[in-house]
């Protein structure tokens, strides 16, 4: 579905941001690690919501 594809795209964007922030954390130990944790959880949420949408769609058609 369009919604699950958008969430998959959002997850990829979150993961890309997470990798960039991780590089900053490695360079500057004073960097706020909570940002990295937030991005990780946000990407997890995007994945979960996309799967739930797909599951609901498959349930409706079956």
Per residue of the chain (62 residues), give pLDDT as tens: 999 999 999 999 999 999 999 998 888 877 788 999 999 999 999 999 999 999 998 886 55
Tell me: the pLDDT tens digits for 37-46?
999 999 999 9
pTM over 0.85: no
Counting the structural domains of the chain, the total is 1
How far is Cα 51 from Cα 62, in angstroms, rounded to an integer?
16
User: In this structure, are residues 10 and 50 in contact, taking their beta carbons and an 8 Å threshold?
Assistant: no
Q: Which of 39, 40, 36 is nearest to 26 (CA)?
A: 36
Say which residue the tokens 């349930």 belong to: 59
Return the CATH number at 37: 1.20.1200.10
Domain interval for residue 18:
2-61
């Amino acid at each position: 579905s369009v919604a699950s594809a958008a969430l998959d795209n959002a997850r990829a964007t979150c993961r890309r941001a997470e990798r960039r922030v991780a590089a900053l954390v490695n360079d500057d130990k004073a960097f706020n690690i909570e940002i990295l944790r937030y991005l990780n959880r946000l990407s997890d949420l995007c994945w979960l919501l996309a799967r739930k949408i797909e599951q609901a769609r498959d349930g409706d058609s079956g």
